[in-house]
Structure 1
Amino acid sequence: MTSTRVLTGITTTGTPHLGNYVGAIRPAIAASQDPNVQSYYFLADLHALIKSSDPARMQQSRREIAATWLALGLDTDNAVFYRQSDIPEIPELAWLLSCVCAKGLMNRAHAYKAAVAENEEGGVPDPDRGITMGLYGYPVLMAADILMFNANRVPVGRDQVQHIEMARDMAGRFNHVYRGEYFTLPEAVVDERVQVLNGLDGRKMSKSYDNTIPLFVSEKKLLKLIRKIRTNSLEPGEPKDPDSCTLFQIYSAFATEQESSDMRRRYAEGIGWGEAKNELFEYLNAQLAEPRERYQALLEDPGHIERVLQQGAERAREETTVMLDRLRSAVGLGRFV
């Protein structure tokens, strides 16, 4: 029986925060431990070049994100964990797909259209000013990531569904032009149950808003950040609404159902904001202490991280080299013997 193939990319443009953990990392790590699923997790460092031109920050982000996933228990025996840039067959496949992909399809990509709209709204004479081919061709590289491994399912946020549809379009076009079943048509998986955490200011936790709580900050820094979370002016003893409170939202994302129910009752009884923040800190710190220690140990041993990623790349390339040889032959670039 063929197992389901699930693929997830992690863009290396920052330091993982609590929102990343709850929304993507935790469910993905759980899936990595399912023997009925063949999981592919990769550091999308080629994609990150679209947004980042700081080599030192890029290197740091790649190291931090890899250490985060390993510290939190990613099963690298079952899942294939690799760096995108270690798989040269992927950008080559992106070129093959580019040669069957209609330009009009790329013109409709949300990110490209948003960049053009921003220029037009700003009165810029050239609507394409500042737009690189990396941004424009991003959906093709993403399609190559997915189609190289013939992934069946790709967990994404709703804003990324268009890219999966584009990958399906490119896969179907390639299959049609070269008269074969080379690619599986992937399905987008949008889990509406995935939690989106609010940040320090009450908006969605996001690096772009500078309102995040990094996952593995020190105890002292974690307490300082939690104390900065915005609350209202209700005094201790006054009932508070947990459903509109960032403190409760973060707490319940980590707590058991019974613990959340107990904390909800304390909000109704008028828990003070200072006490609620201290409770959140103590709870999070207790849960993060052991993985934080493993994370720090991994950062101090980059050679171990490198070995894990190289082992993952070797496993990935056992598939990608075979796949690309087949595709080269399909398009007329195969060997003469």
Structure 2
Amino acid sequence: MTDIGKQRVLTGVKPTEAPHIGNYIGAIRPAIELAAQAEDSYLFIADYHALNIIRNAEELKEYTYLIAASWLALGLDAEKTAFYRQSDIPEIFEITTILSSVTPKGLMNRAHAYKAAIDKNKEAGRKGADLDYGINMGLYTYPILMAADILAPRGTLVPVGKDQIQHVEMTRDIAGSFNHLFGDILTLPDFYVQESTGLLPGLDGQKMSKSYGNHIPVFMDSKKRRKLIMKIVTDSKLPEEPKNPDENTIYQLYCHFATEAERAEMRSGFEKGGMGYGDAKQLLFEAVERDLEEPSKIYNDLLADKKRIDTLLEKGAEKARETAAATLKDMRHAIGLR
């Protein structure tokens, strides 16, 4: 069993739109809890990775602030965790160049994102050279940049979902190749598969997703949040009829925000009858509001003072650059550069 208290935990997050509660419960909250347990932790905003998708400068800048404000508002301790922009650590990109020279092309061919893009082109009927249609070198070589992100601060533990294990395995392969050629310079990280919270249902009972339009944003006006929660789709059972809470979107969401006693009370009300959907939705709203009311205030305050966000990210970058510079110095010495 991994002793978190002895690890340097590293997490990366792409700058996107503000999160919904599925992102919060499934990724942000567990990552913040893990960082709090670790001996040392680093969290970076992967703005260079985002260039593969985002082509608008103002959009990238704004998304970076939204993500930074979100994590800080939801409890990330910037005093303990080095929180920084990937783009503020120039050493990462020289490390990427060095790693590129020891990375087999065949390894890149096996990357999930690249293979998914190829499969999409096959499904569209493309063949031969057209199989690479729409695929840029940023996408193709992203595992090398990701390896540099992890290896630069000498991360020892990287929290991932089951579908992201390959990211860390490739980093280990690339670091292993370098170490085999030049000595044991790079720290090989381990992955940490976080316990699944399960797929959080959206307003319509499907997986919560912005693409489905069934999500509940983390940060929004209380009245709008209540209005959304009241739109959760239910069956036509009357309040006095027994209901299965485990097949109930309201209860499934409630479990992530309510206390143990509150969960037990709602479960009993559904199973025995007497708990109407309207009352249950109100209880869910109150539990969500209790959890997110203060973070929402912090979030809005941060976005109103973006210089404060810049200051926090710059402070985190100072620590990250210190470790990255030491790593790069060791690598340059090992390969024969001054």
**TM-score, normalised relative to structure 2:** 0.93
**Are the counterparts in 2 of residues 156 and 189 from structure 1 also a CA contact under 8 Å?**
yes
1:68 maps to what in 2?
A: 70
Tell me, in whole angstroms, the C-alpha distance in 1 between the residues paired with 2:249 and 2:170.
36
Distance apart, 1:239 and its partner CA? 1.4
Superposed counterparts of 1:241-320, under 5 Å: 241-268=244-271, 269-320=273-324
**Are the counterparts in 1 of residues 18 and 70 from structure 2 also a CA contact under 8 Å?**
no
2:135 maps to what in 1?
A: 131
SS at the partner of 1:181?
A: coil
Distance apart, 1:108 and its partner CA? 0.9
- 1:141 counterpart (125, 140, 145): 145
Deviations, residues 2-56 of structure 1 (Å, cap 9, x unaligned): 941110111112211111211222122223333x520111111111112222322
Deviations, residues 284-332 of structure 1 (Å, cap 9, x unaligned): 1122111111111111010101000000001111111121122122222
1:184 maps to what in 2?
A: 187
1:203 and 2:206 correspond: yes
Aligned residues: 331
Tell me, in whole angstroms, the C-alpha distance in 2 between the residues paired with 1:141 and 1:201.
38
1:321 maps to what in 2?
A: 325
Tell me, in whole angstroms, the C-alpha distance in 1 between the residues paired with 2:203 and 2:57.
29
- 2:40 counterpart (29, 35, 38): 38
Tell me, in whole angstroms, the C-alpha distance in 2 between the residues paired with 1:111 and 1:74.
29
**Are the counterparts in 1 of residues 30 and 194 from structure 2 also a CA contact under 8 Å?**
no
2:170 maps to what in 1?
A: 166
Distance apart, 1:85 and its partner CA? 0.9
Tell me, in whole angstroms, the C-alpha distance in 2 between the residues paired with 1:134 and 1:227.
43
SS at the partner of 1:192?
A: coil
**Are the counterparts in 1 of residues 16 and 67 from structure 2 also a CA contact under 8 Å?**
no
- 1:98 counterpart (85, 97, 100): 100
- Percent identity between matched residues is 53
Tell me, in whole angstroms, the C-alpha distance in 1 between the residues paired with 2:289 and 2:62.
24
**Are the counterparts in 2 of residues 239 and 267 from structure 1 also a CA contact under 8 Å?**
yes
**Are the counterparts in 2 of residues 195 and 253 from structure 1 also a CA contact under 8 Å?**
no
2:156 maps to what in 1?
A: 152
2:235 maps to what in 1?
A: 232
SS at the partner of 2:131?
A: coil
Tell me, in whole angstroms, the C-alpha distance in 1 between the residues paired with 2:269 and 2:284.
13
Deviations, residues 143-165 of structure 1 (Å, cap 9, x unaligned): 11111122111000111001111
**Are the counterparts in 1 of residues 69 and 302 from structure 2 also a CA contact under 8 Å?**
yes
Amino acid at match of 1:60: E
Which segments of 5 or more consecutive residues in structure 2 lack a partner in the other structure?
A: none
Distance apart, 1:234 and its partner CA? 2.1
Tell me, in whole angstroms, the C-alpha distance in 2 between the residues paired with 1:37 and 1:20.
25
Tell me, in whole angstroms, the C-alpha distance in 2 between the residues paired with 1:96 and 1:276.
57
Deviations, residues 177-223 of structure 1 (Å, cap 9, x unaligned): 11x11112111111234443122232222333333211111112211
**Are the counterparts in 2 of residues 87 and 313 from structure 1 also a CA contact under 8 Å?**
yes
Amino acid at match of 1:83: R
Superposed counterparts of 1:207-218, under 5 Å: 207-218=210-221
Distance apart, 1:169 and its partner CA? 0.3
**Are the counterparts in 2 of residues 231 and 273 from structure 1 also a CA contact under 8 Å?**
yes
Tell me, in whole angstroms, the C-alpha distance in 1 between the residues paired with 2:292 and 2:199.
19
**Residues 253 and 195 of structure 1, relative CA distance in 2, 3 Å threshold:** farther
**Are the counterparts in 2 of residues 14 and 207 from structure 1 also a CA contact under 8 Å?**
no
Amino acid at match of 1:182: I
CA RMSD of aligned residues (A): 1.6
**Residues 289 and 242 of structure 1, relative CA distance in 2, 3 Å threshold:** same
1:13 and 2:8 correspond: no
Deviations, residues 71-96 of structure 1 (Å, cap 9, x unaligned): 12211221111111111111221121
**TM-score, normalised relative to structure 1:** 0.94
